[in-house]
């Protein structure tokens, strides 16, 4: 609990058995997280079992996709404050305090992985991916008049439950381009939100979304199309 608010962390998970337990323990170690919901998105390994043993509540989302998993997690979360993150070792559990520090003044707090000093050695954030994230984020800013954004694809973010309820039923994306839709809908509801830098480490295994050039281009194209379609 944080200042009287209960806190839920949501992890979308697909074949994350090798690190899911450490991720759950790392975020619980903060001492302010009341609940961790792991959304098992049809894993073929022991992801669900490892997460459960670490103290997480595991739910299954049979519709395959990053967006479907996060949307299920948002529906399942019981906390007043909901934090989205990844269970692959890329994010640091103590960074929940960075998000929570802004939760009194903002209804949504988005992380950015583009601060060079916070990108750890081995992180999947090379020049091309970083610049691509920045360009798409600036397009989002330009077309929707949002606060300053530099990273359109950072999972690590916090949202107040009451703020989420204002647009949750309007979420439609089930794929890897889910995060910009969340920002667009938050902007349309005039939510107060801000972007802050978070640490970004090397992940365990290869990213299912941006682990190769093809995945980066596919996700970037879908994000741009979503932004344009929603605007025009």
**CATH no. for residue 110?**
3.90.550.10
Residue 2 lies in a domain: no
Residue 108 lies in a domain: yes
pLDDT of residue 213: 61
Residue 1 lies in a domain: no
Order the strands of the 157-160 sheet from edge to edge: 57-60, 35-40, 7-13, 81-84, 157-160, 108-112, 193-197
Structural tokens at position 154: 């950072």
Residue 21 lies in a domain: yes
The dihedral through the CA atoms of 140, 144, 145, 146 has a sign that is negative
Sequence-ordered strand ranges (E) for 91-220: 108-112, 157-160, 193-197
Residue 165 lies in a domain: yes
| pLDDT band, very low/low/confident/very high, at 169 (cuts 50, 70, 90) | very high
155 and 179 in contact (C-beta within 8 Å)? yes
Residue 39 lies in a domain: yes
| pLDDT band, very low/low/confident/very high, at 103 (cuts 50, 70, 90) | very high
pTM of the model: 0.92
Alpha-carbon separation of residue 110 from 31, 53, 100, 228 (angstroms): 21, 29, 11, 21
Label residue 175 exposed, middle or buried (CB < 10 Å: 0-12, 13-18, 19+): middle
Which residues make Cβ contacts (< 8 Å) with residue 84, sequence separation at least 6? 9, 10, 70, 73, 74, 155, 156, 157, 158, 159
- Enumerate the β-bridge partners of residue 94: none
User: Which residue range forms the structural domain that includes residue 193?
Assistant: 7-231
Which residues make Cβ contacts (< 8 Å) with residue 232, sequence separation at least 6? none
Residue 99 lies in a domain: yes
What does the pLDDT look like over 109-123, one tens digit per residue?
A: 999 998 878 876 666
What does the pLDDT look like over 14-55, one tens digit per residue?
A: 999 999 999 999 999 999 999 999 999 999 999 999 999 999
pLDDT of residue 124: 65
**Helix, strand, or coil (residue 84):** strand
63 and 14 in contact (C-beta within 8 Å)? no
Rg (CA), the chain: 16
> Distance between CA 186 and CA 166 in Å, rounded?
8
- Report the mean per-residue pLDDT for the chain: 91
Number of domains observed in the structure of the chain: 1
**Which helix or strand (DSSP H or E) is residue 90 part of?**
none
Q: Is residue 64 pLDDT above 70, yes or no?
A: yes
């Amino acid at each position: 609990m944080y200042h009287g608010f209960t806190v839920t962390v949501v992890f979308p998970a697909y074949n994350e058995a090798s690190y899911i337990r450490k991720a759950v323990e790392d975020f619980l170690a903060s001492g302010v997280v009341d609940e961790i919901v792991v959304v098992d998105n049809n894993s073929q390994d022991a992801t669900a079992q490892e997460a459960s043993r670490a103290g997480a509540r595991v739910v299954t989302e049979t519709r395959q996709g990053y967006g479907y998993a996060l949307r299920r997690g948002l529906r399942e979360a019981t906390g007043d404050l909901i934090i989205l993150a990844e269970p692959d070792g890329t994010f640091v559990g103590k960074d929940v305090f960075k998000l929570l520090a802004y939760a009194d003044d903002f209804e949504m707090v988005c992380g950015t992985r583009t601060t060079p000093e916070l990108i750890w050695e081995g992180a999947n954030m090379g020049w091309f991916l970083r610049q691509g994230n920045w360009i798409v984020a600036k397009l989002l800013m330009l077309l929707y008049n949002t606060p300053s954004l530099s990273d359109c694809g950072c999972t690590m973010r916090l949202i107040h439950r009451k703020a989420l309820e204002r647009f949750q039923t309007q979420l439609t994306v089930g794929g890897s381009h889910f995060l910009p839709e969340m920002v667009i809908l938050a902007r349309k509801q005039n939510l107060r939100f801000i972007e802050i830098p978070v640490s970004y480490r090397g992940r365990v295994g290869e990213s299912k979304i941006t682990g190769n050039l093809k995945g980066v281009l596919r996700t970037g194209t879908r994000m741009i199309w979503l932004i344009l379609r929603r605007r025009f």
